Amino acid sequence: MTWVGLRDRHDGHFAPDGLGLPERRAGAVPEDGLIAVGSLQIETDFTAGQGAVPILHYETEDPWPVRLTLAFDSKGTLLLGHKVGTRSLWLRLPTRLTGSSSGVIVTYGWDAPRRMGVLSLHDPGSGLLDRAEVPAPMPLTMRDARHIAGGSPAARLGAEVTWLALADHLAPIGPMPGLGGETRLALADGGLAPLSCIETGQRLATADGGTAQVRWVGSAEVIARGRQAPLCLRAPFHGLGRDIIVAPDQRLQIGGSDVEYLFGVELVSAAAGHLVDRRSVLPAACGPVQRYWQVMLDRPAAILAEGCAVESLDVGPLLADPAALHLSLLAEVSRDLLPWQAPRSSRLPVLQGFEAMTLACSGAA
């Protein structure tokens, strides 16, 4: 299971064997062959009140009529249309988008043999997750996938789209990991262990001076573009003992006198992507995909990653919509193992982009 296509504003590439991998399949892939199970994922912006916002429009008559469209209407409803020959599928997903949202992730996944699919919208910045089941979705052909990902004029991207990707599996929806697997975490016994070697049941030291039990540890391979492109947090900034790789949406907990002066609280939460200053936080070299890791704890807490306080996986969107659990990375996790969620009033203030940059420029970060 892998990502097989990637298209952005500059280029497009379709690789049936997997992005970044050498081609191994003997002979040409049949153009009429089906991607029976797959996902189409898109990162795009949305601004309310500006009318309909096109995301993707693909249309061809060769060798048979095919049309695939994704768009927002003026109210933020996500619209899906898919026509193959005489069969048509139309779906509306009302979303809770308001105002302006940057880098929302739209995912259309299908499992044609099981006659099930999902259309979802996830805003990693706010944690918003909206979804709808897609009845009896129709698979894409290899020809369609090559045209859509490869940059054919038959497939047009909306002006607000950052990237589009295709996978040969159902891509998980909802909260995603945000740390490099080689990042060492502080253990409750005082030791250190790479995140990729952490096991369920272990106890980790937390930034609040306590400990917490690991209920789940896992990883996901994501498209390394836009708000998923890796960042390097450099030591000795942020309390780091050595450099680490993080996703832009990975949140850090920051404290100190400048935090108290600027925001009137002891601790704040800030996304790494809002702290990019090309000195303490800067873009990291990467290929088309990136694998991130993370842990889910028995309680909401920040873990110590190479000395930096970073937040563990936030499963809030899944607690708000438990039915989405089987579509997420935590599909195999029992609901009994999900952590309790702290009351909203006790959660740390989350800085907006301009607030985080003000803090970074002050030297507090």
CA pair distance 79, 91, nearest whole angstrom: 6
Mean pLDDT of 35-61: 92
Q: Residues 202, 213: contact at Cβ < 8 Å?
A: yes
Of the listed ranges 250-259, 297-306, 337-346, 356-365, the one predicted with least confidence: 337-346
pLDDT in tens, 245-263: 999 999 999 988 888 888 8
Q: Output the average pLDDT for the chain.
A: 91
Tokens of 127: 């944690």
- Residue 363: what pLDDT? 62
Task: Return the C-alpha torsion angle 40, 46, 50, 54, nearest 10.
Answer: -10
The model's pTM: 0.92
Which residues are bridge partners to 161 per DSSP? 44
- Residue 320: what pLDDT? 84
Total number of residues shown for the chain: 365
Q: HSE on the CB side for 107, CA within 13 Å?
A: 27
Confidence band (pLDDT; 50, 70, 90) for 30? confident
pLDDT in tens, 276-291: 988 999 999 999 999 9
Task: Name the nearest CA neighbour of 16 among 110, 119, 142.
Answer: 142
DSSP 40-98: EEEEEEEETTS--EEEEEEEE-SSS-EEEEEEE-TT--EEEEEEETTEEEEEEE-----
- Residue 243: what pLDDT? 97
Task: Name the nearest CA neighbour of 150 among 140, 137, 160, 135.
Answer: 140
Unique residue bearing structure tokens 């996703």: 247
Confidence band (pLDDT; 50, 70, 90) for 344? very low
pLDDT in tens, 142-165: 999 999 999 899 999 999 999 999
Sheet holding 128-135, edge to edge: 12-14, 3-8, 161-167, 37-47, 100-111, 116-123, 128-135
Is pLDDT at 311 greater than 60 in this prediction?
A: yes
